[in-house]
Structure 1
Amino acid sequence: MADGRGGAGLCRGVARPLEVRSSACRGTVATRADRAVTRRLRVLLLAEAANPEWVSVPLVGWSLARALAEVADVHVVTQVRNRDAFLRAGLVEGRDFTAIDSEALAGPLWKLGTFLSGGRGGWTIQQAVATISYPYFEHLVWKRFGPDIRAGRYDVVHRITPLSPVQQSPIAAKCRAAGVPFVLGPINGGVPWPKGFEAEMKREREWLSKVRGLYRALPGRRSTLRADAILAGSRQTLRDIPARHHDRVIYLPENAIDPARFNARALHGGPGPMRACFIGRLVPLKGVDMLIAAAAPLLRDGRLVLEIIGDGDMMAPLRAQAAEFGGGVIFHGWKAHAEVQDIAARCQLLAFPSIREFGGGVVLEAMALGLAPVVVDYAGPAELVTDATGWKVPITGRAGVIAGLAARLAWCVDHPAEVAAKGEAARARVQALFTWERKAEQVLGIYHWIVTPDRPKPDPFGQE
């Protein structure tokens, strides 16, 4: 055919792995799948946000892309704002990555989102404005790589970032028409604000959260969800995906750790009071004020020290709240990764009472050091912490969380041996499931599932 799609247009279902395996109209797609099982897969990675010098989503995008480069032949497509960081990291433009300049739309819309959120960069507002700019990024990606995709130069196209399920992928339908499997995710988000924390939601300027569900009506959602594999980064996200797509959904949390960056060991059994650290932004949803209130009796008695690593617009009121405890609460401000682990490793607990956390990468980082985590039983962190590796405090409004934290911290202070055992179990869990090397192996298994006949569906986390 003139558009380069060959016979794929005659057999619309060929991009689905099971249909490729069984259809009489195998054509080009089946031939590609047969060849793919005998060599390293060629993967085009869409990582609009990927940057080794930043944190959060860009660091996830970068880390997963680099890990996948060890197990497959990948080419990363990212946004132009990440270009210099890629070059500083030693990647070669044109060979290892391509930078797409979508700033004509992305730049002004980011500024608009920042303005609407009062300069806080509110997550929901920024995702809302990105629903306009991200499709333009994929439009430019297809303009550059569409001919290569149609020609079969890639076995898989995989969108790593954005992580938000709100962002639709117009390129998914184009890959399907070209007979090239498309992988979406891990996607994560959509965690409702918990009851009893309306004041925090207002202070975070998350007013759009109340109407977030409207994204399900966005154009392109149906075709995006027809991806050959959808990686759900949380159970909440998995539940939001219509059941008719669940045969192609795999639960896979997006976060992992680099053992080279988190190689210290927590100090258990040493002299002095027990130490607990918090790592993150000092903003209302992180709950640091609740942590200080819960720890107050232990701080007054000198039985606990809190190490607060991070900064934000709550720094001043938190310092005032902690003033009576003197050196019992230490504020470190922002620290480089190496310094963070040095501070955390002299602690025994991670106290992380965030009330609305999608992923919880910092929880895995602390667990990798051997800290026992105490988290709120809600959303991302609660999925990462098991009964064997830490504790989850019920989320029953501010008073309930403070009381639950107070009781758990007091118990931990009185049972240091049990804290050490949980910390060791936490470290072992991260090493087994949550390194970037392990994550790449998990994703590679998913790639092979969608291109290899009769391979069973992967399930890296089973029924956890």
Structure 2
Amino acid sequence: MLVWQWGRRGAGPRFAACLAEALRDRPGLAVTLSLCRDAEIMTGADPPRCEMPVSTYRDMGSLLLRLATAPFALPFLLARLWPIRPDLAICAMPGPLDLLMAAALRLLGARLVVVVHEAEAHPGDGFPMQMALQRALCRRVDGLAALSSHVAAQLRRQRLVSRRRRLIRLAHPPFAFTLPATPAGRPAGPPRLLFFGRLLPYKGLDLLAEAIAALPPETAIAVRVVGHGPACPALAALAACRGVTVENRWVPESEIGSLLEWSNAVILPYREASQSGVAAAAMAAGRPIIATRVGGLREQLSGAGQAVLCDPDPASLARGIMLWLETPTQCLAREDAGEAWRQAAAALMLGIRAALPARPAAGRMMRKLPALRLRGGRHRAP
């Protein structure tokens, strides 16, 4: 089996690494992980086991060059894949170069599954042609794994689900980041609320600013808004709120654990969402979550302890913050992320076995070719 994800930043490489590690724990599976050689997770202190690192792109210019020269790269990719010859390949999160990988895997007779995190682009998110390339990839695979009912419904509306291309349901397991050791006795101060992630309009930054401004004047709270995004009026409004600190910067993976350790709770005031990698990290860290009930968040947080779900409007969000403040500010027991990923891997394999058709005859023949040798005028298996 091959698991691949060629992104450099964000949740995609971590999702692929966690999935590959969980699949390796299943008996009878030989799993190869392919990540971008320059992925942030590969350059950290504890990089994942990656048997097939690849060089992809560093910026938009190099990406366009890669896309233009993709046909010439196909033979070299086939040479990398030939020793593996996977029966099954899983794209852990679609990216711009995945059509090249899909073409190579099809020539080797592998069956393909794509894990779809987002079926529609969010405002200001992604890269040009992202969804067009993703839909083209989805039309060339055998199965689509959706991370929420919200995404599954969108895939059906896009007519990407059919009798030939089945839908597989998969929940997003928690992301476990290493949290620094908590010093004896937390420093005195108000309860700490964290917003973390890309600072984009659909994340509800304006809702958060209005909700905090609507809190009673005597409310004591410390809020950190940490992430990277363009300057906008909502960020300026947040920076002007009492008790709020805005840190507009890219946060390396090595710092995420420290942010979660600082917080007493995590807030997701999104206007729209399919599911959330930040929520997955907060759940693994045992942090209560305040979130709007939009997209797939309600489903993802249905089993989260002390989750407060709000409507996507400032008044409801302010009430949710107050409800959390009135609850004792204690962190929950951390989830066993490893076990959650193993359960997700088991569910994924069951779904794949039920959904994927039998291998076409051409694929079976292609996979047998490297095992045949010409001896005395006859093909004989070694």
Relative to the length of structure 2, the TM-score reads 0.69
Q: Which residue pairs with 1:160 in the alignment?
A: 92
Instruction: Map Cα deviations across residues 83-108 of structure 1 (whole Å, 9 max, x no partner).
Output: 99479867898xx2252x5659x963
Give the Cα–Cα distance (whole angstroms) in 2 for the partners of residues 355 and 138 of structure 1.
Answer: 41
Cα distance change on mapping 1:275 and 1:107 into 2, 3 Å = closer
Give the Cα–Cα distance (whole angstroms) in 2 for the partners of residues 324 and 233 of structure 1.
Answer: 35
Give the Cα–Cα distance (whole angstroms) in 2 for the partners of residues 208 and 84 of structure 1.
Answer: 24
Q: Which runs of 5+ in 1 are unaligned?
A: 1-42, 113-129, 194-200, 396-400, 454-464
**Which of 321, 336, 347 matches 1:431?**
336
- Answer whether contact 2:205 2:234 (CA < 8 A) is retained: no
Amino acid at match of 2:325: V
Give SS of 2:162's match. helix
Q: Which residue pairs with 1:75 in the alignment?
A: 32
Give the Cα–Cα distance (whole angstroms) in 2 for the partners of residues 189 and 294 of structure 1.
Answer: 27
Shift of 1:134: 11
Cα distance change on mapping 1:134 and 1:157 into 2, 3 Å = farther
- Answer whether contact 1:293 1:402 (CA < 8 A) is retained: yes
- Answer whether contact 2:174 2:280 (CA < 8 A) is retained: yes
Instruction: Map Cα deviations across residues 213-262 of structure 1 (whole Å, 9 max, x no partner).
Output: 7975x4x754x24x1x4322232332214453488422114553136x24
Give the Cα–Cα distance (whole angstroms) in 2 for the partners of residues 137 and 82 of structure 1.
Answer: 24
Cα distance change on mapping 1:138 and 1:413 into 2, 3 Å = farther
Q: Which residue pairs with 1:250 in the alignment?
A: 168
Q: Which residue pairs with 1:31 in the alignment?
A: none
Q: Please tell me whether residue 232 in structure 1 is matched to residue 232 in structure 2.
A: no
Q: Which residue pairs with 2:79 in the alignment?
A: 144
Q: Please tell me whether residue 65 in structure 1 is matched to residue 23 in structure 2.
A: no
Amino acid at match of 2:119: G
Amino acid at match of 2:322: A
Give SS of 1:350's match. strand
- Answer whether contact 1:165 1:187 (CA < 8 A) is retained: no
Give SS of 1:154's match. coil
Q: Which residue pairs with 1:360 in the alignment?
A: 276
Give SS of 2:290's match. strand
Give SS of 1:63's match. helix
Instruction: Map Cα deviations across residues 257-305 of structure 1 (whole Å, 9 max, x no partner).
Output: 136x24778x999965433211112232222232122012437323322
Give the Cα–Cα distance (whole angstroms) in 2 for the partners of residues 98 and 258 of structure 1.
Answer: 23
Cα distance change on mapping 1:262 and 1:271 into 2, 3 Å = closer
Amino acid at match of 2:74: H
Instruction: Map Cα deviations across residues 321-369 of structure 1 (whole Å, 9 max, x no partner).
Output: 43352xx113355555565434433433211112244441111211222
- Answer whether contact 2:191 2:264 (CA < 8 A) is retained: yes
Give the number of aligned pairs: 348
- Answer whether contact 1:255 1:361 (CA < 8 A) is retained: no
Amino acid at match of 2:281: E
Shift of 1:133: 6.6
Amino acid at match of 1:45: V
Q: Which residue pairs with 2:300 in the alignment?
A: 384
Give the Cα–Cα distance (whole angstroms) in 2 for the partners of residues 444 and 342 of structure 1.
Answer: 34
Give SS of 1:249's match. strand
Instruction: Map Cα deviations across residues 62-101 of structure 1 (whole Å, 9 max, x no partner).
Output: 33334444544222334454599479867898xx2252x5
- Answer whether contact 2:5 2:34 (CA < 8 A) is retained: yes
Give the Cα–Cα distance (whole angstroms) in 2 for the partners of residues 329 and 349 of structure 1.
Answer: 14
Q: 1:43-122, aligned counterparts within 5 Å?
A: 43-49=1-7, 54-71=9-26, 72-79=29-36, 81-82=38-39, 85=42, 96-99=51-54, 108=61, 110=63
Cα distance change on mapping 1:269 and 1:377 into 2, 3 Å = farther
Amino acid at match of 2:336: Q
**Which of 190, 202, 211 matches 1:294?**
211
**Which of 404, 410, 413 matches 2:325?**
413
Give the Cα–Cα distance (whole angstroms) in 2 for the partners of residues 65 and 147 of structure 1.
Answer: 20
Q: Which residue pairs with 2:375 in the alignment?
A: none
Give SS of 2:92's match. strand
Give the Cα–Cα distance (whole angstroms) in 2 for the partners of residues 388 and 89 of structure 1.
Answer: 28
- Answer whether contact 2:114 2:144 (CA < 8 A) is retained: yes
Cα distance change on mapping 1:303 and 1:183 into 2, 3 Å = same
Percent identity at matched positions? 18
Q: 1:2-13, aligned counterparts within 5 Å?
A: none
Amino acid at match of 1:407: R
Q: Which residue pairs with 1:25 in the alignment?
A: none
**Which of 93, 114, 127 matches 1:185?**
114
Give SS of 1:73's match. coil
Larger CA deviation: 338-347 vs 351-360: 338-347
Shift of 1:404: 1.6
**Which of 329, 349, 360 matches 2:244?**
329
Relative to the length of structure 1, the TM-score reads 0.59
Amino acid at match of 2:120: V
Amino acid at match of 2:17: W
- Answer whether contact 2:199 2:227 (CA < 8 A) is retained: yes
- Whose helix fraction is larger, Structure 1's or Structure 2's? 1
Give SS of 2:336's match. helix
Give the Cα–Cα distance (whole angstroms) in 1 for the partners of residues 164 and 90 of structure 2.
Answer: 18
- Answer whether contact 2:151 2:274 (CA < 8 A) is retained: no
Give SS of 2:235's match. helix
Q: Which residue pairs with 2:315 in the alignment?
A: 403
Amino acid at match of 1:292: A
Amino acid at match of 2:169: Y
Instruction: Map Cα deviations across residues 404-424 of structure 1 (whole Å, 9 max, x no partner).
Output: 21122123223x14x75xx63
Shift of 1:160: 2.5
Q: Which residue pairs with 2:373 in the alignment?
A: none
- Answer whether contact 1:233 1:251 (CA < 8 A) is retained: yes
